[in-house]
Amino acid sequence: MKILLDESVPQDLRLIITGGHTVITTWYQGWSSFKNGALLDAAERAGFDLLITADQELCFQQNLKGRKLAILVVSTNNWSYIRADIAKITAAIEAVMPSSYTEVEISIR
């Protein structure tokens, strides 16, 4: 699966996502300045399967109907909490379907 990490999530997440996925950051793509709609369009044109973001307002700001890109929203961008709950994120990645919208509640310990 080709995964795009939004700038709202810790970029080190790319180093701990397993399963043979290709994980690329918006910064690496040169898309750091893109706003949500432009980012979604660019990601779909580039053949990404999944966008991982911490932008919990995305579903209210954008019309996601008809998108091929799956979206996974994590509930925090705190790296230590994300790293501690990577199993939950990994399970969600494995379960996503094209065009799906998934929220992952990260445990705040």
pLDDT at 91: 95
**Helices first, then strands: H and E counts in the chain:** 6, 5
Q: What is the pTM of this model?
A: 0.92
CA dihedral (22, 28, 33, 34) positive or negative: negative
Residue boundaries of the structural domains of the chain? 2-104
Chain centre distance of CA 42? 14
**Residues written for the chain:** 109
Mean pLDDT of 14-32: 93
The model's confidence at residue 37, banded by pLDDT at 50, 70 and 90, is: confident
> What are the tens digits of pLDDT across the range 50-99?
999 998 877 677 767 888 899 999 999 999 999 999 999 999 999 999 99
> What are the tens digits of pLDDT across the range 1-10?
999 999 999 9
CA distances from 35 to 11, 26, 63 (A): 18, 11, 14
